[in-house]
Structure 1
Amino acid sequence: MAYTLNEVEERVCEVAQRILDLPPQKCRPDSRVIEDLGCDSLKAVELMMELEDAFDCKVSNDHSFPLGNAIFTRNPMRLRDLAEIIYVLQATGKVERQAGWSWLRRKEIQRPTIDADLFTQLGGRFDPQTLGKKFTLLEDLGKVDGFLQARRRTDGMRCVQIPAGNTMVGSDAADALDDERPRHEVVLDAYWIDIEPVSTTAWCRFLNSIERAESHLARWMLLDETDDRIVQLPVVRREGIWTPLRATAMLPMVLVSWHGANAYALWANQLDWQEYASVDGPLPSETQWEHAAEGAFQSVDETNFVAGQHVRGETYDAENLPMAPVHHPLGKSRFGLHHMAGNVWQWCRDWYAADFYQTSESQLPNPLGTQPTGIRSERGGSWVGPAELCRASYRRGRHADAFGRCLGFRCLTWTK
């Protein structure tokens, strides 16, 4: 049986209402999937699996029909857009699966039995006066595997220096999406980048070290008690002090907006964090991030990074989110950075534009997407989505105010 587009729209709205647990008046064809319905990556997976069953179709990550990328980069994505995609795919054949979405093959992660690296990120509170009026932000750790490493004194983060030089970014592979093309050469200055994503421990140190208002907190991380993701917030305030929840101290900090990540990056570099809404701070550019991720992703069949962990119908709290600790050497790049494939998406400094790699701006030394588009770039894939999204060249964006339970960040260190 073939449905008309109007019939598909009506049914998509009904399914969205049920899966997202919203009143009927909220789920209309013109409802924005993210802004109006609060549909993040995990809810999107559940919604798409339900729609596959309802319309006897396979919503795949086949790059000849790049729905996975389109969901997150259409601005805004509405239920009627989703209905149009389902309308085209209806009756193309139901997919056989055990638990996950059709293109979400669950990966059995071979977690290290012994941590190769120590957890060095600091909690508590940072007081710069204890280090004197003039202190060096980075403490030299010498060379490790051929690359200079240092430790940032504000938060204890280990950093690696990526040498200056020419590098290739983007992809011309047969399965590359349009926004990854063309593969091209760029010139990058040397830069220091965090070896790990920022942990809940370091995030709490940031909050405890500054005089911030409640309005700052509300813009930086998910605090809305009516949002069902609040149970996954891995930090809590007790007697005015922020601390990680039990068993989350070494996990990546998630449910932080781009603004929160930017504020942290400014603070960690001893810059004015209060300018987080007006100054683009030391988050990695897309190009820096992609270059630093070299070697982290080899193929979708590898099991050395965290992806495809969600099981249909599974619910999570902060303590059982299927993420790996930041210091576990998974998704490791050739420069020694952890989780440059999978575990959590990571905010980048750029404004996301689908055509950026086709512009002259992308060919400049140290390229950066500076034209405001309404959405900021994110890279790396996560525990929620499929392994295919974890390749270094895969691009997508999200609104700067968005919170994601599979979205974290890492920083640069700007040295004088």
Structure 2
Amino acid sequence: MLLNASLKRKVLGLDTGKVSAITSSYLPPEYYKGYCGQTTDIYALGATMHHLLTGRKPQPFKFSSIKEERNDISIAIDIIIANALDKKHTNRYQTALDMLQALAEIINTPKNMILIPAGSFWMGSNTGEENEKPVHKVTLDSYYIDKYPVTNAEFDKFIRESGYTGTGEWKKYYNKETKNHPVVAVNWFEAIAYAEWAGKRLPYETEWEKAARGNDMRKYPWGNKWEKSRCNTPDLNDPEIIKKRVDIYDGKGTTPVGSFPDGASPYGVMDMAGQVWEWCEDWYDENYYSKLGKACKNPTGPESGEYRVLRGGAWGNLSGACRCTCRSYSQKPDYINFNVGFRCVKDTESYSG
């Protein structure tokens, strides 16, 4: 329940200088400086949610990451609660409707998609290739991203139901054993056509990278150390997964999507390192980062160009191409290769209006 500032201070004992130990655990720092507003309520709600989800009474201003204590909690919930518990009230949700919007986005997540909450992350690498520099801060609105790359079976359904023809090259790599493998040999236009049919779109390069690395600047989706057992590359040495790998070239090829749960990104997105290169919406410009400045919001890439961005590395690439910040590009948007596929994103809706 939201109370006005004066009543709230009386109920909690702030006018008399007496605040119980139990109450103090749910009060933000600014409360002791005389400030009281919606962000104060949001902090108290965040503390209550933390208490309920961890089973531990909160200590004043000391809150652990819920995700670190409970693997069954999504990182999106963790981020929402962390925002509500930010010690600086200007960094929290500013109204109850803002927090309601964030919670509603989780509840309404489409099947086989993952919510990437609104917020900032650091994009690029100052130790990578020249086209990955400089590191810059990007703020994005929330969006959903496919948990897995689009599969052969999903693309086949699109072709059958839509009547779309395309080049048909992808059929060379589709059989009953590869139904749940990523579709390959589709060009950018075919990926766009599928996305539109599915009510989605291709991710911008910024959206792809945030979904892959989170906001801690990690090198690979799972962390900073190369782990050959966590993705589909020539280094793969898991005999059980190798049995399921199709031979596209020289004994290497795609594996069923989701074969590497330990290789998931911080948000739980699968197969973002190795497996297949993934089309992005953007035109490619090797100097684009330097044109953005130190911070930007919802950039959509260059206005024009010759090539389209590809991300993620593929089954034939080694670790360098599988870094979250690695940027590649097609020869042309109609480029087709047996190691190129895609996944889609979808914009969130407004639920608080």
Quickly say closer, same or farther: Cα 1:361–1:151, change in 2 above 3 A.
same
CA RMSD of aligned residues (A): 2.5
Q: In terms of Rg, which structure is larger?
A: 2
The answer to whether 1:307 aligns with 2:259 is no
Q: Which has the higher helix share?
A: 2
Looking at structure 2, the residues matched to 282 and 182 of structure 1 have their Cα atoms a distance apart, in angstroms, of: 27
- Spell out, residue by residue over 1:274-297, the C-alpha distance to the aligned partner (whole angstroms, 9 max, x if none): xxxxxxx71111111001001515
1:149 positional shift: 7.0
Counterparts of 1:9-408 in structure 2, within 5 Å, are 144-147=73-76, 148=106, 152=110, 158-173=112-127, 176-212=128-164, 216-218=165-167, 221-222=168-169, 233-235=172-174, 245-269=175-199, 282-294=201-213, 296-297=221-222, 298-308=224-234, 316-317=247-248, 321-328=252-259, 329=261, 331-360=263-292, 363-398=295-330, 399-408=332-341
Is contact 1:149-1:161 (8 Å) kept? no
Aligned-residue sequence identity (percent) comes to 31
Gaps of 5+ in 1: 1-142, 224-229, 236-244, 270-280
Looking at structure 2, the residues matched to 381 and 346 of structure 1 have their Cα atoms a distance apart, in angstroms, of: 8
1:393 positional shift: 0.4
Task: Compute the TM-score of the two structures, normalised by the length of structure 2.
Answer: 0.60
Is contact 2:142-2:347 (8 Å) kept? no
Quickly say closer, same or farther: Cα 1:150–1:261, change in 2 above 3 A.
farther
- Spell out, residue by residue over 1:195-228, the C-alpha distance to the aligned partner (whole angstroms, 9 max, x if none): 100000100111111133xxx422xx427xxxxx
SS in 2 for 1:160: strand
Quickly say closer, same or farther: Cα 1:299–1:149, change in 2 above 3 A.
farther
Looking at structure 1, the residues matched to 340 and 118 of structure 2 have their Cα atoms a distance apart, in angstroms, of: 28
Quickly say closer, same or farther: Cα 1:333–1:222, change in 2 above 3 A.
same
Gaps of 5+ in 2: 1-71, 77-105, 237-245
Is contact 1:331-1:342 (8 Å) kept? no
Task: Compute the TM-score of the two structures, normalised by the length of structure 1.
Answer: 0.51
Equivalent residue for 1:414, pick from 341, 347, 351: 347
SS in 1 for 2:169: coil
Q: Partner amino acid for 2:176?
A: R
Matched positions, count: 230
